[in-house]
Amino acid sequence: MSLRTTTHLNFRDGRARVALEHYHRVFGGELALTSYGELGMPADAPDAERIVFGSVTSPDGFRVMAYDVPGDAGPADASPTATRREHGATLTDRPFFLSLRADSLAEAERAWDGLAEGAAIVEPLAASAWSPGFGMLADRFGVTWVIDVAG
């Protein structure tokens, strides 16, 4: 059992793919890119080719994740609810999230329960198309956490 944290970069300008390809050239390892269209967004939608899940993972321990924030996330806001769900998409003005990946649902639930005290729940921890458990919350300090279980 283990927990791993990863910086999760949020691009409002559609540059997640280019940034991750660059980090892949610099650090090597595996490049993983999934577009909104690959998860069911209509191909002619403006954000269909943008990245919803992307990462670079190298054998020496480097790992970074990134996605393109769909549409307009609205004005910058210092409140912990500046990350929100709207029309099925996660919108944010935050430059990064902290991603926590657990080996088991029980581990993810323990972390979730502790972080959820006084938090704004963006997306409840539940099974998703890509993970036995996925959720997002902004903790009482304004840090947005993406918590999931390794698939």
Identify which of 46-55, 71-80, 142-151 has the greatest average pLDDT: 46-55
Q: CB under 8 Å to 24, separation ≥6 — which residues?
A: 31, 56
Share of the chain above pLDDT 90, in %: 38
Residue 72: pLDDT band with limits 50, 70, 90: low
pLDDT per position as a tens digit, 111-128 = 899 889 889 999 999 998
Angle formed at CA 97 by CA 146 and CA 63, multiple of 5 degrees: 90
Residue 115: left if φ>0, alpha if ψ -120 to 50, beta else—which one?
alpha
pLDDT per position as a tens digit, 77-104 = 444 457 777 767 777 777 778 888 889 9
Give the CATH fold of the 3-149 domain.
2,3-Dihydroxybiphenyl 1,2-Dioxygenase; domain 1 (3.10.180)
Backbone phi, then psi, for 22, in 5-degree steps? -65, -50
Element (H, E) at 91: strand 89-91
Element (H, E) at 19: helix 16-27
- Distance from CA of residue 108 to its chain's centroid? 15
Buried b (16+ CB within 10 A) or exposed e, 15-32: ebbebbeebbeebebebe
Residue 108: predicted pLDDT: 92
Residue 31: predicted pLDDT: 98
For residue 76, pLDDT over 50 is answered with no
